[in-house]
Amino acid sequence: MSLSPECTDRDLAAIARMVYETSGITLHAGKRALVSARLQKRLRQTGAASFRDYIKVLQRDVSGEELTAMLDAITTNHTSFFREPQHFDFLAQTVLPTLCDRANGKPILGWSAACSTGEEAYTVAITACQALSDAASRRVTLLASDISSRAVARAAAGLFRSERTADMPRHLVLKYFQKASSPQSGVLQVTPSVRQMIEFRRLNLLHPAPPGPPFDFIFCRNVMIYFDRAAQQRVIDSLEARLARGGYLFISHSESLNGVRHGLSWVAPAIYRRGAA
């Protein structure tokens, strides 16, 4: 039985540098086991006999496809429906009613900026459907993005094992999910009416934010904990620039904007607002 290739200090440093330069994610020495385990499949698929050989594959890859595949393998996609539920209560009770009252029936625009496999974006859409009338909820358009192309593809499909919805209120599962036409049993799919509210797209938060009208609210949660201060500053600058006047930014309760320059005002735990004037 052959042993798996070893990821040396030099290998880890080279991979960590590539990951940081591309995504802003910091990999320290404590991540060696994670990096080694998650990249074994990439080594096999590229024919690399060692991590040193794999690094050479990455360096020669002018298309960037293998670099994307590496990021897909390394990035953590832990998420759940209605995670940190206080945020969705605030969205339903404070943010959405105010936006709905705006004149001229303007669209309501939101962004799930680190959507992982889609649970957050679908929770936002379901919250809007529950909080607003049918006519008003049709004004809600969401962008959902992630650096992982694999996660984005899974999110766009809207397919989830039934146990993923086990902690959701039963009436919401019955209303917004349906049995999927899947060879696997116990798979549910988000209903078309909810899926059509969301555009899923692969985006890197260190790159310029997507062009277009400003967002009324942005969720960017559980991603900045992987960035150092410099990368956090770049991300917050980009998000703030795309936030509408009076718009809201939601970060995770495990994150903080302390030490990051911004012009946002604290509203509630892990919720900030851009000035209206």
What are the structural domains of the chain?
Answer: 9-74 (1.10.155.10), 85-274 (3.40.50.150)
At 1, the pLDDT band (50, 70, 90 cuts) reads: very low
Active site residues: 38, 146
Q: Render pLDDT for 119-175 as a digit per residue (tens, 0 to 9).
A: 999 999 999 999 998 888 889 999 999 988 888 999 999 999 999 998 899 999 999
Q: Are 151 and 236 in contact (CB under 8 A)?
A: no
Buried/exposed code over 109-121 (b: 16+ C-beta within 10 A; e: otherwise):
bbbbbbbbbbbbb
Structure tokens at 82: 């209605």
pLDDT (tens digit, 9 = 90+) per residue, 74-113?
A: 876 678 899 999 999 999 999 999 998 875 778 999 999 9
The fraction of the chain above a pLDDT of 70, given in percent, is 96
Q: Which two tokens stand for residue 211?
A: 């062009």
Structure tokens at 154: 């899974």
Q: What is the dihedral of CA 9, 10, 16, 18, to 10 degrees?
A: -170
d(CA 229, CA 5) in angstroms, rounded, equals 33
